[in-house]
Amino acid sequence: MKELTLETLVAVFEEIFGRGLFWAMVAAALIVTALYLYVLIRDRAMSMRKFLVAQLSMPIGAILAVLFMLEVTSSGLGDMGGPIDAIVLLAVAAVGAIGMAILVYTAQSLVRGNQN
């Protein structure tokens, strides 16, 4: 693999997660992102109370993302062999934390409305 292209990445992720799960995750991410943008445009400001609750949910998102990755792949924590494995694990945790914060903020805003 001399070049890293979008097609290569899609093929690798489809192999890791399976075609159906991968595209379901892509669809879910697009839907949550669209709803988040809708909430930000609708409210015209971020609610700091909702943002605080969303930040408090970030550790849960990080843990869930790592557990999901360990469940989907055939690897475990005992298989970590070098620094790149730790970097990937931290990146998965960071993406899970950010995703959970966006999801929680969006869900609060859709359920409660604009209550600043």
Domain residue limits, the chain: 6-112
- Do residues 113 and 86 make contact, with C-beta atoms less than 8 angstroms apart? no
Mark residue 73 as left, alpha or beta (left: phi above 0; alpha: psi -120 to 50; beta: remaining): beta
Distance CA 8, CA 16 (A): 12
pTM for the model: 0.83
- Number of CB atoms found within 10 A of residue 32's CB: 15
Which pLDDT band holds residue 74 (cuts at 50, 70, 90)? confident
The string of pLDDT tens digits covering residues 9-41 is: 899 889 888 899 999 999 999 999 999 999 999
pLDDT at position 116? 56
Greater model confidence, 1 or 19: 19
The token duo for 85 is 């494995």
In this model, does residue 69 exceed pLDDT 60?
A: yes
pLDDT at position 65? 95
- Do residues 105 and 48 make contact, with C-beta atoms less than 8 angstroms apart? no
